[in-house]
Amino acid sequence: MGKTTRRAILKQTSLAGSLVCALDSASQELLLAQTPPEPRYDLLIRGGRVIDPSQKLSAERDIGIVGQKIAAILPQIAEREARQTLDARGKIVTPGLIDIHAHVYDGVAPLCIPADANSIAKGVTTVVDAGSSGAHTFPGFKKYVINVVDTRVYALLNISVVGQSTLSNDVPWGELLDLRYANPRVAIKTIEQNRDVILGVKIRLTNNIAGDHDLEALKLAREAADAVKLPIMVHIGGTHAKIEDIVAMLKKGDVITHSFRGDPGGILDSRGRVIPEVRKAVENGVHLDIGHGAGSFSFDTAEKALRQGVTPGTISSDVHQSNYNGPVFDLATTLSKFLYLGMSLEDVIARATSNAAATFAFPLGLGTLRVGSLADVAVFALNEGNFTFVDSVHATRVGHHKLTPVATVKAGRIYGSASIPVAV
């Protein structure tokens, strides 16, 4: 081509400006075709029926996760857009379950069980330990459980400083028989120092736990809860005081657990009608929680209450040593009992996700799959067949649907998934 002057090059470039641009974009496309794009998502949960009551969603969706957060929830996301895919076709996908009544101070309160094997391995990403620890034993609970386990654990602080450390199957004497252990001042101090993980006050009022001074104990719990502006969870049943007098001391936002238990001390009168004072408390914003437990859920009560239009705000397991091998097993089995009782899958899931999240002031915004929220996700099989469910008084019912946990994702990380293939 001979000698090219600078001026000539400039002239050529300016004349060929549009051509240069065209060449650039063509070569860029060529490059893109040769180099596969970086996957947009770290994890894709693909093809499941997503039930997220927080956004009234119940449809097939793909969920894209980046880091610890939900990045997209769309009708379809291509597998090549994710580094890892969890195939959830034919499965139910929900926000990670929140069990607001469990006992996981393993090794200290005798009824407690290990958190992870009974929670995160079974679709429960968050548990609220309901009063296993009191002010004296809470520092150990934080150090050896909350800070260590994979399950996200919060606490309701027992108004008794000893928590649930005194009562076992062999020693049936509870934490409030000596009222001097119910100490609002120490409870308040412990809560103020641990507001990131303590979400309320817990009290158990059964006769062998609180004796005949149950209302006095509740007054002390009220004093502590009001001082820190957090709710009380009250365990009812077999109490010295009448339930009418107990609910009279509750306020908006408080929680009655074991609400569908049988006699004595339940929410029904001797003719099976919901006691008016209980109904009034619910209308005033007191939440009914299930807290199934070993002695605290009756199909008969549930059927009568539901027929009278009284539904639980939350469904929790109260899973502990005396029931994790039945009749409770886990939260998913407890939820399945409410499918038997005629509640829709969406309504049942709401009671262990969005409703549970709204019951306490969780600092992270849990119980939802909204874009931007923490990627806590649970995957279940909805098995069909004949399943015999047992309640806490040995009554049985045969249901035809059972939720079986198959995979759990907490903050973007997959836990316990033997039965669902994970493509890497």
Q: Which CB sits closer to Zn ion, 95 or 237? A: 237
Q: Which CB sits closer to Zn ion, 288 or 369? A: 288
> Which single residue brings its beta carbon nearest to Zn ion?
318
Tokens, residue 420:
């669902």
Nearest approach in angstroms of CB 407 to Zn ion is 27
CB–CB of 84/43 below 8 Å? yes
Residues 292-311 that bind Zn ion (CB under 5 A): none
Q: Please give the backbone phi and psi of residue 56, each rounded to the nearest 5 degrees, phi first.
A: 50, 45
Q: Which CB sits closer to Zn ion, 61 or 258? A: 258
Nearest approach in angstroms of CB 172 to Zn ion is 15
Q: Please give the backbone phi and psi of residue 418, each rounded to the nearest 5 degrees, phi first.
A: -85, -25
CB–CB of 163/105 below 8 Å? yes
Nearest approach in angstroms of CB 352 to Zn ion is 16
Please identify which residue in 116, 318, 330, 376 interacts with Zn ion, judged by CB under 5 A.
318
Q: Convert residues 95-134 into a mask of x (bound to Zn ion by CB under 5 A) and - (unbound).
A: -----------------------------------x----
- The rounded distance, in Å, linking the Cα atoms of 291 and 237 is 12
Tokens, residue 104:
């996981």
Q: Which stretch binds Zn ion (CB under 5 A): 280-288, 317-325, 395-403, 416-424?
A: 317-325
Residues 152-211 that bind Zn ion (CB under 5 A): none
Tokens, residue 363:
């600092």
Number of residues in contact with Zn ion, rule: CB under 5 A? Answer: 2
Q: Which CB sits closer to Zn ion, 130 or 335? A: 130
Q: Which stretch binds Zn ion (CB under 5 A): 224-232, 236-244, 318-326, 375-383?
A: 318-326
Q: Which stretch binds Zn ion (CB under 5 A): 242-250, 264-272, 314-322, 396-404?
A: 314-322
Q: Is 8 exposed, middle or buried (0-12, 13-18, 19+ CB in 10 A)?
A: exposed
Nearest approach in angstroms of CB 317 to Zn ion is 9
- The rounded distance, in Å, linking the Cα atoms of 202 and 160 is 9
Q: Which CB sits closer to Zn ion, 61 or 122? A: 122
3-state class (DSSP) for residue 194: coil
Nearest approach in angstroms of CB 65 to Zn ion is 33
Q: Which CB sits closer to Zn ion, 130 or 236? A: 130
- DSSP single-letter state for residue 313: S
Nearest approach in angstroms of CB 293 to Zn ion is 6
Residue type, 338: F
Q: Which CB sits closer to Zn ion, 91 or 103? A: 103
Nearest approach in angstroms of CB 415 to Zn ion is 24
Q: Which CB sits closer to Zn ion, 100 or 375? A: 100
- The rounded distance, in Å, linking the Cα atoms of 98 and 364 is 13
- DSSP single-letter state for residue 400: E
CB–CB of 301/307 below 8 Å? no
Among residues 319, 321, 351, 323, which one has the least CA distance to residue 335?
Answer: 351
- The rounded distance, in Å, linking the Cα atoms of 345 and 267 is 25
| Residue ranges that bind Zn ion, judged by CB under 5 A | 130, 318
